[in-house]
Each structure stands twice: as C-alpha cells, then as structure tokens.
C-alpha cells in the first residue's frame, strides 16, 4: 500500500514539474518574442530616420535682411520643414544683416567661402548679394516680390535658369488697389510711401499707382532713404493726401511704430502690402502667410538637398490664397466701416 502511494505521489510531482517547465518555457518564449519584436521595431524606426536624412549632414546658410515679423515668419517656416525632414543632420548658419545691403554681401560671401550646401536669401538685397557671391551653391529666395526686377532679368518667365529659385510674396496688386474703393471711397488723393533703396517697392508702387489712377484718384509718390527720415516723409505725405499706401517694404516694416505715431494722430488711413505693416500702422491689407511661404521654400530646399530637383529648373513659387485682413483698433479709431469678407488681424 505504501509502495503504491509513493509511486502515485512521484507521478503527481513529475506531472507538476512538467507543467511548470512548460509554463516557464512558454513565458520565456513570449518574452523573447517581445524582445525580438521591440528590437525589430527600433531597427525599423532607425532605418526610417536614416532613409529620411540619407545619413548626410547638411549646412544651410541663412541671410535675412532685417528682423521684423514677416521675414522672421518666413525663416521659421523654412527651418521647420528642414528640421522635420533631416532632424539633427541639418545645421543652420543664420545671420541677420540688420537692414544693410553691404552686410548681406559679407554674409553670403562667407557662406560661399565655407561651402555651405544651400543658401536661403530672405528679402531682395539678400538674394542679390547671394547671387553675386556664388554661381554654384543652390540659392533659394523668400519674401522676394519680383525676381525679374530683383535680378535684372528682362521678360522674366518664372524660372531664373541659374542656381537661383525660391518663393515670391507678391499679392495681387490690382486687388490691393481695389481695397481703396471698398474701404476709402472718398479718398481722392493717395500718397504712396516706400524706401527708395528697395527695387521691389518701386515695382509695387508703380503698379498700384497706375491702378489707382484708373479709378480717377490723384497719386503722389514719397520716398525715404532709410529709417532716419521715415517719420518726416510720412508726415509730409499725410499733410498732402487723404490716405496712404505702403507696399511690401522691409524698411517700412521695421518702422511701423514711427509711421503709426505720425499717421494715426493725423487721421490718415494706410492700406498696406502685407500683414505685419497693417498690424503696426495700417487699416487693412491683402496679405499672404509668410510662415507658409517659408515652408514652401523649405520644401523646395529638401528636394534640392536630396538630389530630387535641379534648382536651375525650378520655377519661382507663389502663395495662392491671399486674405483680406483689417486692423480693428485703427479702423475703430479712424471710424472706418469694414465690409464683409475681411478678417481681423490678431493682436
């Protein structure tokens, strides 16, 4: 009887050990599979990142003419796209020329000497300097109104054909001029104010002047050489006109407070070429998103750096959806009624 009981107990223990061994083996197998799966996922993730950047290191030189809201937004949009694509494999040498064309030349010549992989030229003087600095390194402009004017190309067809391409911040000028009919129908005398050193401002001023004259208005042009005489020129323009127009002009954009301090007390409304100007000293604009413009430029840069596109064959790209915006505070101060279809500028 004892022998039979002992044999039974031994059999039960053997079965128990076998079950435990099977359980442990199954658990261990599951953990091993999980570990292998995790390792495979990590390897796949690393492979994806490597595929995105091609494992290459890129250095991009950024020359921005001056610091103000529009140009800052364009630079940010550009950098965001490259960082999203290449991560830590892209390095930026970001330089600001503080509004000086000669400094743009110094910056871009240094980029050329250092052999950067691509140059972003933010604003027309930066583009002109970069184009003079190198004929080999790809150059992308942004916040450029008219490439034909900026680079002296007659009958510009949309593609530069050299190592230069980029994006334009040109909004439809005839539609900007039409805003005077919508917002300021009684303004019969209009002054156009801009910096004489900015060729793209000259282009915009000439175009808008012709459009305003078609509507029977008298148009006078006032130019300032730099930020030192902005207030004086604006004061003269306010004294002699019912309203003003300021095109997309980098010097003016850097002096909106000075302009507003003259124009608002004089009760002279200003329609502007871009949102930053309108926010600082105007009543309204037909404006683009400079951040999105910068992103479009960044997408062009990615294609160039990856070898997917030749800069010489890339047409200049334009922002397709300009928006009518108004400065609520200035419109209320000046008693201007804004019709439907305008969006308030965020303060």
Encode pLDDT of 228-270 as tens digits.
Answer: 999 999 999 999 999 999 999 999 999 999 999 999 999 999 9
What are the distances in angstroms from CA 304 to CA 71, 140, 314?
22, 10, 10
Q: Per-domain residue ranges for the chain?
A: 58-169+289-315, 173-287+323-344
Task: For domain 173-287+323-344, give the CATH number.
Answer: 3.40.50.2300
Fold classification of 58-169+289-315 (topology level): Rossmann fold (3.40.50)
pLDDT tens-place string over residues 183-198: 999 999 999 999 998 8
Residue 302: pLDDT above 50? yes
Indicate the pLDDT class of residue 134, thresholds 50, 70 and 90.
Answer: very high
Residue 22: pLDDT above 60? no
More confident residue, 164 or 54: 164
The SS3 of residue 94 is strand
Can you state the angle between helices 69-86 and 290-305, rounded to 10 degrees?
A: 40
Are the folds of 58-169+289-315 and 173-287+323-344 the same? yes
pLDDT tens-place string over residues 28-49: 343 333 433 433 333 333 333 3
The SS3 of residue 325 is strand
* pLDDT for the residue 54: 62
* pLDDT for the residue 91: 98
Residue 180: pLDDT above 70? yes
- The Cα–Cα gap between 276 and 270 comes to 13
Average pLDDT (101-109) is 97
* pLDDT for the residue 312: 98
Which helix or strand (DSSP H or E) is residue 192 part of?
A: strand 189-195
Residue 117: pLDDT above 50? yes
> Which residues are CB-contacts of 296 (< 8 A; sequence separation ≥ 6)?
77, 167, 317, 319
Asked if residues 306 and 118 have their Cβ atoms less than 8 Å apart, the reply is no
In Å, how far from its chain's centre is CA 261? 28
Residues paired with residue 118 on neighbouring β-strands, in sequence order = 60
Residue 19: pLDDT above 80? no
* pLDDT for the residue 28: 39
Residue 323: pLDDT above 90? yes
Indicate the pLDDT class of residue 93, thresholds 50, 70 and 90.
Answer: very high
Average pLDDT (286-300) is 96
DSSP state of 134: -
- The Cα–Cα gap between 127 and 124 comes to 5
Indicate the pLDDT class of residue 199, thresholds 50, 70 and 90.
Answer: confident
Place of tokens 């492979």: 47
What are the distances in angstroms from CA 207 to CA 123, 210, 235, 333, 341?
20, 5, 23, 29, 24
Q: Is the pTM of this model over 0.85?
A: no
Residues paired with residue 324 on neighbouring β-strands, in sequence order = 286
Residue 224: pLDDT above 90? yes
* pLDDT for the residue 55: 79
Report the candidate in 289, 290, 276 with the shortest Cα–Cα distance to residue 327: 276
Asked if residues 124 and 198 have their Cβ atoms less than 8 Å apart, the reply is yes
At residue 135, φ and ψ (nearest 5 deg) are -105, 5
Residue 322: pLDDT above 50? yes
* pLDDT for the residue 320: 87
In Å, how far from its chain's centre is CA 26? 57
- The Cα–Cα gap between 107 and 140 comes to 15
- The Cα–Cα gap between 261 and 230 comes to 11
What are the distances in angstroms from CA 221 to CA 41, 204, 217, 277, 344?
65, 12, 13, 18, 28
């Amino acid at each position: 009887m004892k022998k039979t009981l002992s044999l039974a107990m031994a059999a039960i223990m053997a079965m128990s050990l076998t079950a435990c061994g099977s359980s442990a083996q199954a658990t261990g197998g599951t953990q091993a599979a999980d570990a292998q799966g995790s390792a495979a996922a990590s390897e796949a993730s690393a492979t994806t990142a490597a595929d995105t950047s091609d494992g290459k290191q890129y250095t991009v030189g950024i020359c921005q003419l001056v610091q103000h809201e529009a140009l800052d937004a364009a630079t940010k949009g550009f950098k965001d796209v490259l960082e999203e694509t290449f991560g830590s494999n892209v390095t930026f040498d970001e330089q600001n020329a503080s509004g000086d064309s000669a400094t743009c030349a110094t910056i871009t010549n240094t980029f050329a000497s250092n052999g950067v992989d691509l140059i972003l030229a933010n604003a027309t003087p930066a583009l002109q300097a970069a184009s003079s600095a190198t004929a080999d390194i790809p150059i992308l402009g942004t916040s450029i109104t008219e490439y034909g004017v900026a680079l002296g190309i007659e009958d510009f067809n949309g593609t530069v054909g050299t190592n230069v391409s980029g994006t334009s911040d040109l909004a439809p000028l005839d539609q900007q001029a039409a805003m005077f009919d919508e917002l300021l129908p009684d303004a019969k005398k209009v002054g156009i104010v801009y910096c004489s050193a900015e060729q793209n401002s000259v282009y915009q001023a000439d175009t808008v002047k012709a459009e305003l004259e078609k509507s029977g208005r008298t148009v006078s042009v006032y130019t300032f050489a730099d930020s030192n005489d902005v207030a004086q020129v604006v004061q003269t323009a306010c004294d002699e006109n019912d309203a003003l127009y300021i095109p997309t002009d980098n010097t003016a954009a850097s002096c909106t407070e000075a302009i507003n301090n003259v124009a608002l007390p004089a009760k002279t409304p200003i329609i502007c070429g871009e949102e930053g100007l309108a926010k600082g000293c105007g009543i309204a604009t037909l404006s683009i998103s400079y951040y999105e413009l910068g992103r479009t430029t960044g997408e062009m840069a990615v294609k160039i750096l990856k070898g997917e596109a030749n800069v010489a064959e890339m047409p200049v790209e334009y922002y397709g959806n300009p928006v009518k915006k108004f400065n609520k505070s200035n419109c209320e101060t000046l008693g201007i009624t804004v019709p439907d279809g305008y969006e308030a500028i965020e303060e």
